[in-house]
Structure 1
Amino acid sequence: MTDRTTGSHPHGAGPERAGRDESSVRGSTEPPSLPLFGPGSQFHAFFDDPRWALAVVRATVLEAAHPQIGAALIANSTFVAHPWRRLRNTLLSLRRMFGADEQVRQREAARLNRLHARLSGVDERNRPYDAMDPEIRAWVVATLFESTVTMCRLSGQPLDQATMERLYTEFQAFLAVLGDRAGHLPPTLREFWPYYDRVVEEELENTEALRIILYRLFDHLPAPPLLGDLPTVWAAGRALAGPVLGAITVASLPEPFRRRAGLPEIPGARTLTQGAYLAMGLARFLPDGWIQGQAMADLLSLPPDSDDPRARTLAALRDRTKRAGALLRLLSPLAAEPDPAEEGRPVQRSAGEFFDEVLDQTGDGYLDWPDLAAMAREVSGRLDLDEPEETRLYDAYAHWWRELQAALDTDGDGRISRHEYAAAVPSLAGPALIRVAEVLFDVTDADGDRTIDAEEYRALFRTGFRRELADVDGACSRGAFVRDFLCFMSGRRRSTAYDPLLAEA
């Protein structure tokens, strides 16, 4: 049995197994009146804990190692091309699900179920996957729970048995809100550990999604939007932090899986892992409110030219950094490489750049339905759409995909390559794309007055209203909105509004 404290294989059950069994025999000691969600819940105390960032990465790797989840990630997820967007949306979803507002929780659960119902197919070995499979959804919840327990243990603050029981009950309640039947996640903590060990030892694989996370994503992680104009600084930091984060993640994984998957055993990695968790755990001594996970994700997602006061403050600091860097280059005897951020980005995109930055949302080098579905998913999440608006938006994108496929898929393989797109150099402003723009206007126009006001504009773009679009009493008409969208999508012009929505990492 794996020792989750050190990752070693003990000679007996060990104190960890004994403690787990003892707790389960006693049963939960928490009074039933304690809340399962919102302030007062055990999960609420962890959400803004910096250690949880490492725990979420670890849980994501364990999810990606499941062949069904790994296949769904490869085929549908934007985690490679847009990892910061994916992180922010995940944290927002968890905050909605574990918050105190029951109505918000039910809306989010319905949204997640609609999202998962659209994710099914077969992997490269022709094995089916379905994101609505209750056993798969149970494994996702299991990895979050177990990684939270491991997070506390590695940082020298192991959970007592009553707290562990309470946390497990909260994660069971999370799964129940999604509507999954009881039994897919074991009913008691005592039964959970054999279930977890069985999945780890028998079902997890060295999937393509896992390899991308460990060996590509960490080493090539794109800069978050807020730091997008500091590529040199970001690349230098990533060169140091990427391998360390990868080593920490691998060392924290269950030893039977590491051995079977052939993951490298780096000398000193276990000590480094415990040190990293311990160091991040010291943040608990900071004053309340100093570290908030959602606020940090929101900040990193802000584009440099955002009108948010936080972005303006950091922009001023970046300007000073650039001036200092320019002075150093003047004093340096060696010629320095020009900083792309200082040269400015051209207004026009080439066809290839537009394909890579906008159309290929999943980052696999091809344009197919999951890429356009990712666009619809991002807009739906930003606007918090319900049925039938969400379905209208997906249907509009699906019609556009059929139009693109008929025009550009010259080899008939069911997808559009970068070469096929660039060779055709098409004007994308056909009837289907115009319909996408019209539906996008309709779902953004929350009050139905047939104009986009400043508040509705900010809901979609998360930045201030562009006054040059205002052509109806200080608001944006349907015609102006549609023209701006088509100019971006077919003219391949960069846009201060649509770039953060569809192109930024």
Structure 2
Amino acid sequence: MTTGTTTTAGETPLFGPEFGPESEFRTFFDDPRWALAMIRATVLEAAHPQIAAALADNSTFVAHPWRRLRNTFLSTRRMFDADPAVREREAARLNRLHARMSGSDSRGRAYDAMDRASRAWVVAALFESAVTMCRLSGQPLDQDTMERMYAQYRHFLAALEGDAGELPEQLHDFWGYFDGVVENELENTEAARIILYRLFDHLPAPALLAGAPTLWAAGRAVVGPLLGAITVASLPEPYRRKAGLPETPGAPTLMQGAYLATGLARFLPKGWIDAETIIEALSLSPDSDDPRARTVTTLHTSMKRASALLRLLTPLSDETSRDPAPAATRATREGQRSAEEFFRQVLDQTGDGHLDWPDLAAMARELATRLDLGEPEETRLYDAFAAWWRELQATLDTDGDGRVSADEYAAAVPSLAGPALIRVAEVLFDATDKDGSGTIDADEHRTLFRTAFHRDLTTTNATYGRSAFVGEFLAFMSGRRTNTPYDPLLADA
């Protein structure tokens, strides 16, 4: 694998042991402070116009924030895995993913997710936020640790085929570089504003709390503004001034208290806080066949009871009451999606109210990530989704604006089961048929859904034919049925 820089004498090898589980960065994974630092770093990244444009056009973080959180965390875990082969494979996957993202923003400025300066800024924002996190929590890093960690971050950038030379070689020069980008390049972008305000205010419930909308809405109404105020107060003052962010009275004290409190949690017994376990638990549906779902189901039942009690005690309305259909009508929809629900929950992956190529690319990206596809399987999957988009565009784009609106989709209510979608299912079949036998045996079928969808399915047939597999996929993508094994992948937040 090529990299954007070479290793010289005395430097840490790009995929040596120091870059993996023993790195300074790796120690933050289960650190509660890192949650606050990651939000801060994400805002700084989204304030860069190149990154903001890529997020606006391609990201699913608004419509599916919990899924995005899980994928980002797992990707980072892989990049710092003990096995160098795992790290190299993940770096190659990330590069292929970003190489497919380019275009122009609302002002006509070109963007490219492989832009070297932009990729360097992502790493710079992560490093500076980690340093700030430690300082704000009363545990500042010593100079040697900072320099060692900075070298590891530069190697991280190089491992992603970025140009480590885009970041100053020495730590003492980094601070001038960072201040210069903040002053001269960052903007008050729409993506940054969404993260600071809209995302927190409208954050959908994770699968664990999906059945308790009142409880979730009440908690979100309190925690959302607090997170926003803490994040704004922690941003560099020059950017707050440039972006016109409000200075909320007491916010600096609140921010300091939040970092100090989360910093104390680091001293809990080892294993009490495991980020991966927490994220996976939030992602599990109560009806999942995952063994851990028993605990989740118990918690979910308790949450629903608490939500019912809260509904009696407060004027907050249940979010499901926004459905104008009578209860009897909703009951008849059990197990099915309306055209509007299917469009919003499945097709509109980016949450911008329209269906276009980035939405289908997000589906392809999610499938390829969950199945851990390499080349050429990943390219075949993207090509199949691209063909499906061309087919949908030709059929549904009645006003010729290059995208499909919810009204255009609802007016046609197409079956969507055309040749291109069938080809998507066939590519998935081939990826699952590991031995190339032309059939999927019970073990291969269970492995597909256990790996990609975290579902344990009972397969009674010794083999699973191509037509049956394709039919099941089409039942979800065109029949708009709920409660299929594909829901946790493409419909959940």
Tell me the TM-score normalized by structure 1: 0.89
- Work out whether residues 62 and 350 of structure 2, in 8 Å CA contact, stay in contact via their aligned partners in 1: yes
- Work out whether residues 98 and 174 of structure 1, in 8 Å CA contact, stay in contact via their aligned partners in 2: no
User: How far apart are 1:334 and its partner, in Å?
Assistant: 9.7
The within-5 A match list for 1:279-428 is 279-323=261-305, 340=320, 346-428=334-416
User: How far apart are 1:275 and its partner, in Å?
Assistant: 0.5
**Partner AA of 2:386 in structure 1:** A
Tell me the TM-score normalized by structure 2: 0.91
- Work out whether residues 445 and 456 of structure 1, in 8 Å CA contact, stay in contact via their aligned partners in 2: no
Q: Are 1:495 and 2:483 an aligned pair?
A: yes
1:163-220 deviation digits (Å, cap 9, x = unpaired): 0001101111111111223311111101111100000000000001011111100000
Equivalent residue, structure 1, for 2:245 = 263
The within-5 A match list for 1:30-429 is 35-323=17-305, 340=320, 346-429=334-417
Equivalent residue, structure 2, for 1:438 = 426
What SS does structure 1 have at the residue aligned with 2:166? coil
Change (3 A) 1:328 1:125: closer
Change (3 A) 1:272 1:324: closer
**Partner AA of 1:161 in structure 2:** Q
Alpha-carbon separation, structure 1, partners of 2:55 and 2:102: 11
User: How far apart are 1:336 and its partner, in Å?
Assistant: 9.3
User: How far apart are 1:495 and its partner, in Å?
Assistant: 2.9
1:80-109 deviation digits (Å, cap 9, x = unpaired): 000011111111111111222110111011
Change (3 A) 1:320 1:84: closer
Equivalent residue, structure 2, for 1:26 = none
**Partner AA of 1:415 in structure 2:** R
User: How far apart are 1:348 and its partner, in Å?
Assistant: 1.2
What SS does structure 1 have at the residue aligned with 2:350? coil
**Partner AA of 1:277 in structure 2:** Y
Alpha-carbon separation, structure 1, partners of 2:411 and 2:347: 15
1:119-159 deviation digits (Å, cap 9, x = unpaired): 00000000000001111100000000000000000101000
Q: 2:445 aligns with which of 453, 460, 481?
A: 453
- Work out whether residues 76 and 362 of structure 1, in 8 Å CA contact, stay in contact via their aligned partners in 2: yes
Q: Are 1:464 and 2:456 an aligned pair?
A: yes
Alpha-carbon separation, structure 1, partners of 2:205 and 2:186: 30
Alpha-carbon separation, structure 2, partners of 1:296 and 1:180: 31
**Partner AA of 1:463 in structure 2:** R
Alpha-carbon separation, structure 2, partners of 1:148 and 1:327: 40
User: How far apart are 1:339 and its partner, in Å?
Assistant: 8.1
- Work out whether residues 48 and 293 of structure 1, in 8 Å CA contact, stay in contact via their aligned partners in 2: yes
Change (3 A) 1:186 1:266: same
Q: CA RMSD in A?
A: 2.3
- Work out whether residues 488 and 495 of structure 1, in 8 Å CA contact, stay in contact via their aligned partners in 2: no
Alpha-carbon separation, structure 1, partners of 2:361 and 2:313: 51
1:379-436 deviation digits (Å, cap 9, x = unpaired): 1100111000000000000000000000011111111011111111111011111111
User: How far apart are 1:322 and its partner, in Å?
Assistant: 3.7
Alpha-carbon separation, structure 1, partners of 2:87 and 2:23: 15
User: How far apart are 1:324 and its partner, in Å?
Assistant: 6.4
Change (3 A) 1:188 1:227: same
- Work out whether residues 488 and 494 of structure 1, in 8 Å CA contact, stay in contact via their aligned partners in 2: yes
User: How far apart are 1:35 and its partner, in Å?
Assistant: 4.1
Alpha-carbon separation, structure 2, partners of 1:323 and 1:227: 12
Instruction: Calculate percent identity across the aligned residue pairs.
Output: 69
Q: Are 1:477 and 2:465 an aligned pair?
A: yes
- Work out whether residues 32 and 262 of structure 2, in 8 Å CA contact, stay in contact via their aligned partners in 1: yes
**Partner AA of 1:458 in structure 2:** R
Alpha-carbon separation, structure 1, partners of 2:279 and 2:306: 28
**Partner AA of 2:28 in structure 1:** F
Change (3 A) 1:319 1:45: same
Alpha-carbon separation, structure 1, partners of 2:137 and 2:395: 56
Greater Cα offset, 425-434 or 284-293: 284-293
Alpha-carbon separation, structure 2, partners of 1:248 and 1:427: 47
What SS does structure 2 have at the residue aligned with 1:317? helix
User: How far apart are 1:488 and its partner, in Å?
Assistant: 1.0
What SS does structure 2 have at the residue aligned with 1:413? coil
Alpha-carbon separation, structure 2, partners of 1:334 and 1:77: 36
User: How far apart are 1:283 and its partner, in Å?
Assistant: 1.1
Change (3 A) 1:216 1:321: closer
- Work out whether residues 405 and 415 of structure 1, in 8 Å CA contact, stay in contact via their aligned partners in 2: yes
User: How far apart are 1:314 and its partner, in Å?
Assistant: 2.5
What SS does structure 1 have at the residue aligned with 2:114? coil
Change (3 A) 1:305 1:335: same
Alpha-carbon separation, structure 2, partners of 1:177 and 1:196: 21
What SS does structure 1 have at the residue aligned with 2:272? coil
- Work out whether residues 229 and 304 of structure 1, in 8 Å CA contact, stay in contact via their aligned partners in 2: no
The gaps in structure 2 that reach 5 residues or longer are 1-9, 322-326
Alpha-carbon separation, structure 1, partners of 2:206 and 2:341: 18
Change (3 A) 1:254 1:481: same
User: How far apart are 1:457 and its partner, in Å?
Assistant: 2.5
How many residues are matched?
470
- Work out whether residues 425 and 474 of structure 2, in 8 Å CA contact, stay in contact via their aligned partners in 1: yes
What SS does structure 1 have at the residue aligned with 2:164? coil
- Work out whether residues 368 and 378 of structure 2, in 8 Å CA contact, stay in contact via their aligned partners in 1: yes
What SS does structure 2 have at the residue aligned with 1:183? helix
Greater Cα offset, 171-180 or 370-379: 171-180
**Partner AA of 1:58 in structure 2:** R
1:460-490 deviation digits (Å, cap 9, x = unpaired): 22110144xx4x31x4322221111111111
1:32-81 deviation digits (Å, cap 9, x = unpaired): 79942233221121111010011111000000000010000000000000
Change (3 A) 1:99 1:417: same
